[in-house]
Amino acid sequence: MEGFAQNLVNAMLLGGTLALVALGFSIVWGVLNIINLMHGVFVMLGAYVTYSAFTYLGIDPFLSIPFSMLIIFGLGYLLQRYLINLVIRAPLLVTFLLTFGLEMVFVNVALLIWKGDFRSVTTGYSGVGLVLGAVKIPYIRLAGIAISFLLALLLHLFMTYTKTGNAIRSVGMDLDAARLMGVSIAPTYAVTYAIGAALAAAAGSLISMTFPIYPNMVGSWTLRAFVIVVLGGLGSIPAVLLGAFAFALVEVFGGSYLPGLKDAIAFAVLVLVLVVRPSGIAGKAFYK
């Protein structure tokens, strides 16, 4: 029972980080209708911004999160506005290949700058946690899940109560109707993509404090984001949260009891959900 309780806590803490990784991927997929293979790059760059700020400038990793989000927001905006937007109406395979090519470019640049070795952000409080009986809750992961929920809440408020957020939702629901209502499509797409990049960067900053980081980490986090969005259902923040925690439960318990089959179990559950409920656990809504 002690092992079960610890695994349950670990899954909940991991789910918060996974939700933040998948939120940005979900928004870009839902609004721009592209499978963004650059998403893992934004996670990786966010992690390295925090790592560099901590290592070379001595900035606490939690304090670097807003800067990481701002830098990657700008990068995401420029990439979408002046490159991806040129082929946004092309067949899905074209944007798929474009984002894949961009991923390769950024991974190789990262390898040139930071090399391919494993790195992490280790602070004076990295090993400290809250102990409840036999269960230990690291403070970093506890803060991470709090930040994830805070950013999810801020995203919900932004999408619901701001003019830009409503424009993003309208473009995702009906592009032609949004255009007729005066929504400027290209800037809206760019802002949406940039928001997704910023959320991925925040997740990367949190990941750098709890997982090893390296340039080739991009594929595994993009794949996790894709699976979570499909698992939970495309189109709403609660769906992403539900998919993230479901995936985390499967990954943690599968890795604990059948470590060699951890990934196979996670994807078997995904296939099962898609067979029983193709729209995902929560079904499809639209960003609320």
DSSP one-letter string for 59-78:
--TTTTHHHHHHHHHHHHHH
**Are residues 129 and 137 in contact, defined by beta-carbon separation less than 8 angstroms?**
yes
Which range has the worst mean pLDDT, 38-52, 164-178, 216-230, 245-259?
A: 245-259
Q: How far apart are the first and last CA of the chain?
A: 37
**Are residues 51 and 208 in contact, defined by beta-carbon separation less than 8 angstroms?**
yes
CA 131, CA 119: separation in Å to the nearest integer? 27
Residues 115-153: tens digit of each pLDDT: 989 999 999 888 888 888 778 888 999 999 999 999 999
**pLDDT computed for residue 209 by the predictor:** 94
**pLDDT computed for residue 283 by the predictor:** 55
**pLDDT computed for residue 128 by the predictor:** 87
Q: In the predicted model, is pLDDT for residue 1 greater than 70?
A: no
Q: In the predicted model, is pLDDT for residue 75 greater than 60?
A: yes
CA 169, CA 188: separation in Å to the nearest integer? 10
Collapse the DSSP code of 278 into the 3-class scheme (helix H, G, I; strand E, B; otherwise coil) and give the result: coil
Provide CB contacts within 8 A for 170, sequence distance 6+.
177, 178, 181, 183
Provide CB contacts within 8 A for 280, sequence distance 6+.
229, 230, 231, 232, 233, 234, 239, 243, 273
**Are residues 282 and 239 in contact, defined by beta-carbon separation less than 8 angstroms?**
yes
Residues of the chain with pLDDT > 90, as a percent, come to: 56
CA 89, CA 13: separation in Å to the nearest integer? 38
Query: In degrees rounded to 5, what are phi and psi of residue 108?
Result: -70, -35
Query: What is the residue extent of each domain of the chain?
Result: 2-276
Which range has the worst mean pLDDT, 154-163, 180-189, 196-205, 253-262?
A: 253-262
Collapse the DSSP code of 180 into the 3-class scheme (helix H, G, I; strand E, B; otherwise coil) and give the result: helix
Q: In the predicted model, is pLDDT for residue 282 greater than 60?
A: no
**pLDDT computed for residue 27 by the predictor:** 92
Say what the pTM is: 0.92
Asked whether the CA dihedral 10, 120, 17, 268 is positive or negative, the reply is: negative
Residues 176-232: tens digit of each pLDDT: 888 888 899 999 999 999 999 999 999 999 999 999 999 999 998 998 898 888 888
**pLDDT computed for residue 30 by the predictor:** 86
Average pLDDT over residues 18-30: 92
Q: How confident is the model at residue 69 (pLDDT cuts 50, 70, 90)?
A: very high
Residues 80-99: tens digit of each pLDDT: 999 999 998 888 889 889 99
One of 1.10.3470, 1.10.8, 2.70.98, 3.40.630 is the CATH number of 2-276, namely: 1.10.3470
Average pLDDT over residues 43-63: 96
Tell me the residue length of the chain. Answer: 288
**pLDDT computed for residue 108 by the predictor:** 96
Which range has the worst mean pLDDT, 38-42, 51-55, 230-234?
A: 230-234
Collapse the DSSP code of 90 into the 3-class scheme (helix H, G, I; strand E, B; otherwise coil) and give the result: coil
At 51, list the tokens.
């790592």
Query: In degrees rounded to 5, what are phi and psi of residue 131?
Result: -110, 120
Average pLDDT, the chain: 88
**pLDDT computed for residue 45 by the predictor:** 97
Collapse the DSSP code of 211 into the 3-class scheme (helix H, G, I; strand E, B; otherwise coil) and give the result: coil
CA 187, CA 192: separation in Å to the nearest integer? 9
